[in-house]
Amino acid sequence: MPYFDHAATSWPKPPGVAEAMTAALEIAGAPGRGGHRGALEGSRLIAQARNAVARLLGVADDRRVVFTSGGTESLNLVLSVLLHPGDHVVTTAAEHNSVLRPLAARKSRGLGAFSIAPVEPDGSFQVQSILGALTATTRAVVATHISNVTGVIQPIEELAEALAERRIPLLVDAAQSVGHLPIQADDFPGVVWAASGHKGLLGPLGTGIVVLPTVSDERWGLWKSGGTGSASESLEMPNEAPDRFEAGNPALPAIAGLGAAVTWRLSQTTSPFAGMHEWTERLWAELKTIPGVRLLGPASTDRHHGPTSVIVDGWDVHDLAAVLDASFDIRVRAGRHCAALVHESIGSANAGGTLRITPGWSTTPESLDLLIEALRAVLL
């Protein structure tokens, strides 16, 4: 089955992931809840997964890695603990609804305003547009690293440097970049990284991460409160990560699967995504030969990674995706991709969104051939 929906979730999972999840289900105990062998084994698996993620992302202190249920929870967590009533936030029109909806809800409750920096027709933002939207009450900037619609790589390094000079925290939505690009989090002091665990990290659904710039910060608010297996005599939540943000029993099977995926990734001599540039260049070259197909996003693959979005004259993108699925067993995604605002800028609003084609670690030349042949058969 040619699978080209890796921007939604990676498939299949690497060797050992399913086995690690199944083994975790057999553990008789809850991590951090007791000193018997089952509890200790569960704690060991959590610790191994945390350390593996830290190693992959260049985090010296793995306590700064927090586990969540996915990219959405990661972003919501950070916004909840970072912002206080009256704080202003700057974000961009390229963002996912996991950023835009929490900010809109916060505004509707009178907790603080936010500004939206525009994007270019390729879905990219300009750093100066973000800096120009800063106010005296701006507490944070939230920006995506790679657009989940057009695949354009945003100027995060430039933005992080500019905000560091102004001592304004940057929250990066790295759902499409973590695991794909060679991120070294410790090279970005003051930046908070939020991502899903089931995309570029190749873990199972139901996993996500936050990488914090420090283990403790007196300005952090609370995300949720409850048992942590530590300092149980206190009515206050611990002040240090990860316990401060991981109240309640962890999703041990999912985190064990994520740990297995990242450990497998660390064992590879080359990135599983090393072929992405080549696959994208070939895909774009073929799409440009099909009449009526309009490529959206950056003009060059040098500023692109991951999703390729198109609209097709005379076609509803949902219908085209359905034909590829039903007639060729090829899986792509059609729609707005949970990005409310970017389609006005890239020209796909009237089309109901885009047909998004995303290769991934399991893409082969043969699967790409089948996709191209199917598109030509349907559209020519």
- Delineate the domains of the chain, giving CATH numbers in brackets: 17-267 (3.40.640.10), 276-379 (3.90.1150.10)
At residue 237, the pLDDT reads 87
Q: Do 203 and 262 meet the contact criterion of CB atoms below 8 Å apart? A: yes
Q: Do 245 and 69 meet the contact criterion of CB atoms below 8 Å apart? A: no
Q: What is the pLDDT of residues 262-274, one digit of tens each?
A: 999 999 999 999 9
Q: How many CB atoms lie within 10 A of CB 42?
A: 25
At residue 39, the pLDDT reads 86
At residue 51, the pLDDT reads 98
Tell me: pLDDT of 150 over 90.
Answer: yes
> Which residues neighbour 327 within 8 Å (Cβ) at sequence distance 6 or greater?
374, 378
Residues 185-191 have a mean pLDDT of: 95
What count of Cα atoms within 13 Å lies in the side-chain half-sphere of residue 312?
21
Tell me the average pLDDT of the chain.
96
Q: What is the pLDDT of residues 193-241, one digit of tens each?
A: 999 999 999 999 999 999 999 999 988 999 999 988 888 889 988 999 9
Tell me: pLDDT of 151 over 90.
Answer: yes
Split at pLDDT 50, 70, 90, the class of 245 is very high
Burial classification of residue 229, based on how many CB atoms lie within 10 Å of its CB (0-12 exposed, 13-18 middle, 19 or more buried): middle
Q: What is the pLDDT of residues 117-131, one digit of tens each?
A: 999 999 999 999 999
The DSSP bridge partners found for residue 374 are none
At residue 34, the pLDDT reads 86
Q: What is the pLDDT of residues 2-19, one digit of tens each?
A: 999 999 999 999 999 999
Of residues 125 and 1, more confidently modeled: 125
At residue 32, the pLDDT reads 86
Q: How far apart are CA 93 and CA 125, in angstroms?
A: 8
| Residue bearing tokens 């990066």 | 172
Q: What is the pLDDT of residues 204-215, one digit of tens each?
A: 999 999 999 999
Q: What is the pLDDT of residues 56-98, one digit of tens each?
A: 999 999 999 999 999 999 999 999 999 999 999 999 999 999 9
At residue 231, the pLDDT reads 83
Split at pLDDT 50, 70, 90, the class of 114 is very high
